[in-house]
Structure 1
């Protein structure tokens, strides 16, 4: 286990995030505090940072040191991006901070800043080919990757703070002329990098500006589940946000749900950047990543000490392992339930016309492992707790719809409760509902075959006679609880079989 604090000294905000890593629960965020520093405003025309800006950095870092001490942080890393990187008096800033805080600021080079965002996104999302965009206060990092391997990267010398200064200073946020000039400038900047054009891949938005755009969109549509990581939008969604911002006055903007008050003056430039990039890329969708620069820095550091900590090829598998550990699912019980469920599904498919898509089968296996994890909170309402935990947890590697489908499968109790949960999102068509019910029924029956958590069942065999199906269950230890529960739950299997089911337990 290791506890590490990262102070992200950006152009717009200074933020402390305290992370903890363990082999059992992965990388978790323990604390996240920020102050809207706006360091860019302390840079004069000659790119020299004023003493007021340097003093602000010193005060903030000393305050964050106290927070870190309370959390017993082993290593505190102050990392600076564009505002300090672009300062001509960068050496003075570093020396002053060192003398007054005893902290060594690490200046992150442009290319490294782009890499860290790419690294975090590809290790926490299940997107093979894509473009990342991270708009800071003073720079915008864009990368292109194929097969989760970095191909191109660039750091543009503009961010939301600099764009606001260039085009919107002393003007309303929705000034038509300012918007038009900003759009033209951003398009020219993106067009200067030929590898960006017409890639026809998803764009991954990273950072605070992306997060605020996602939350605004979620608020506009009364989005029913928590979190923005893995949240998808199409071109119409991005344009909708832009139109809302353009048509809102200053007071309406302050009250806009999803928008942080300290970003009201810089939200329009971010929307312009996202919409312009979407057109240049001819993107397939816009996905938001809550993991970016900070996570990328921390993950690459931890990788040196824990070489197997992060696997970009097994993102969702690792995330669900950590989730199961957090709620104390016993490994052998989870695996036994998964094996039984897979075996039953295979045998049902062999004897019927039942067909399951690969992606549904994958979620089915994961749900069998996680089944009723909510019992850790309360056994009597384990189905309800299971659904809400999974549906509202940020699970790396899963889209939001996949997350909810996993929650529905892992919490399956009966058709009535399934319908109740499904109403929350209204995302699933009748045929999808039917599939979830059938697969959920198999998982529930599989759980009945290991209800004592003793792994007593050794093998399963399904045979067909003229009038019935017979499930022969070979056991190695006394299956009294399993025999009783499987009889109670066999109706879930019978819904998939054209004949009645008889269950026979045989000692191995």
Structure 2
């Protein structure tokens, strides 16, 4: 597979280009993202689906610019998919032929169920979710997929989109109630199997709604991907959007580029949530484009990352941990120390797993500058640990990476994110275990180390000399009042002080 792979997504409302840089077999990251509000479907829904010249001109201009970017970045493989507006258009062939002949871009028109499938592929691989129904509201359609046990079981497409509802109702001065009745009538075609307490919001409309909720609630972590909210708590806000005047939308935390269709989007989303019986929404920063990319990347893996492979961890390690130091013993030390102390602070398997992730990433800050490696590591992890983690997991791992020997955890960061983190007691103990593990491992990566907890004393036995560790442990901040005794090969040779 080429190192740089591009995906172009032509929707009813916008056209987007993304380019992914592969760092290893399963590692990748986004290096280019371009968007144009082409509104290719403008005027089409009230004219039998026929694409109008103004929309076609905008779409061609955007694709022309995308083609230039593909050449600049020397992209060797490009996937271009088109969704609702083009698949509904009787006059699409001429446009597709022109783009292929003049720009060298092959457009593949996909139906709504395929669009839903791609969104679900992205969700099951890049979100911390095993069950739920993906909901992707575009300009011309709303596409849904039912996920069970991490597998895509069913897909469905509805002729409900923001531009479609806008042109059929809002632009004609028809009421919100009329649009609502129309949406409910369409939703009656949705199979009864599409019921779940969790909806997974995919696409621009869902992201805009999540962003508004994040800003309105002053949620401390401004990351949409994996953000989850209660439908009951946010219903009043979503309903307010459906009837708001355009000039009121900014005060409701909606970006100007979403003012045209967010009211219709909120109305469709609310009605779909009602039909699904969903009580919470998990927000996705990924969708069709990532699904297209992953369908290629994972084509020989049954469209799933193999067990134990997390693409975010893999990409971070590929890009920021270039030292190539041995890690096996570091993980063994960390697990033994955790198991020895877990009962003291209520440590559970989920906490041990987060510790293992942090230990795996412990060197990523060194590649920028060793003098601020802890700050760099926190920033890299908090920004790049996107796929397969909850916000709580992302921030816990990042805060462990911020730990230093004389400061178990960085208190200003804990205060900022405390609502999304484990208790202070757990953070202190996890930070202590993380820091002590690194001290021991960095003094001897080959030492066999055993631990014994005696209530008010932690005894450490090593079969290798750990001379410098004695000094570092002496200044190590502890999460409680106990002593640490280190017995190593140095003492058997030189005697104890």
- Which residue of 309, 316, 323 corresponds with 1:323? 316
Residues 447 and 463 in structure 2, CA contact (< 8 A), matched pair in contact too: yes
C-alpha displacement of 1:243 = 4.2
Match of 2:207 among 211, 232, 251: 211
Structure 1 match to 2:263: 268
Q: Structure 1 residue 181: deviation in Å?
A: 2.3
Displacement after TM superposition at 1:345 (Å):
1.5
Which of 443, 447, 458 in structure 1 is aligned with 2:438? 447
1:479 aligns with 2:466: yes
Tell me the distance in 1 between the aligned counterparts of 2:321 and 2:244: 48
Q: Are residue 221 (structure 1) and residue 207 (structure 2) matched?
A: no
Question: Contact 2:127 / 2:389 at 8 angstroms: preserved in 1?
Answer: yes
**Residues 426 and 240 of structure 1, relative CA distance in 2, 3 Å threshold:** farther
Residues 296-315 of structure 1 mapped to structure 2, 5 A cutoff: 296-304=291-299, 307=301, 311=305, 313-314=307-308
Cα distance in 2 for partners of 1:149, 1:51 equals 41
For the 8 Å contact 2:313–2:385, the answer to whether it is kept is no
Task: Give the match for residue 106 of structure 1.
Answer: 108
Residue 56 to residue 248, structure 1, CA distance change in 2 (3 Å): closer
The 8 Å contact of residues 29 and 315 in structure 2, kept in 1 or not, is answered as no
Could you tell me whether the CA contact under 8 Å between 1:196 and 1:280 is conserved in 2? no
Where do 1:417-456 residues align within 5 Å? 417-427=409-419, 432-452=423-443, 454-456=444-446
Output the TM-score relative to the length of structure 2. 0.89
Q: Give the superposition deviation at 1:31.
A: 1.0
Alpha carbons 1:211, 1:290 under 8 Å: kept: yes
Contact 1:82 1:138 in 2 (8 A): yes
Q: Name the residue aligned to 2:495.
A: none
SS at match of 2:389: coil
Specify whether residues 312 and 487 from structure 1 end up closer, same or farther in structure 2 by C-alpha distance, changes over 3 A only: same
Closer/same/farther in 2, CA of residues 12 and 237 from structure 1, 3 Å limit: farther
CA distances 1:181-205 after superposition (whole Å, capped 9, x unpaired): 22232233233223355433x1111
Do the aligned partners of 1:118 and 1:292 also contact (CA within 8 Å) in 2?
A: yes
Are 1:217 and 1:237, in contact at CA under 8 Å, matched by a contact in 2?
A: no
Runs of at least 5 residues in structure 1 that lack an aligned partner in the other structure: 172-176
Other structure's SS at 2:423 match: helix
SS in 2 for 1:152: strand
Distance 1:70 1:364 in 2: 41
Tell whether 2:484 aligns with 1:501.
yes
C-alpha distance in structure 1 between counterparts of 2:63 and 2:145, whole Å: 30
More moved, 272-281 vs 132-141: 272-281
CA RMSD of aligned residues (A): 2.8
Q: For structure 2, list consecutive stretches of 5 or more residues without a partner in the other structure.
A: 493-497
Q: Could you say what secondary structure the match of 2:462 adopts?
A: strand
Cα deviation for residue 417 of structure 1 reads 4.8
The 5 A counterparts of 1:232-251 are 232-246=228-242, 248-251=244-247
The 3-state SS of whatever aligns with 1:457 is: coil
In the TM superposition, residue 244 of structure 1 has moved relative to its aligned partner by: 4.4
- Tell me which residue corresponds to 1:281: 276
Query: What's the counterpart of residue 336 of structure 2?
Result: 343
User: What is the TM-score of this pair, normalised by structure 1?
Assistant: 0.88
Pairing of 1:17-416 with structure 2 (within 5 A):
17-23=18-24, 26-43=27-44, 45-171=47-173, 178-196=175-193, 198-200=195-197, 202-246=198-242, 248-254=244-250, 257=253, 259-304=254-299, 307=301, 311=305, 313-314=307-308, 317-328=310-321, 330=323, 332-349=325-342, 353-371=344-362, 373-413=364-404
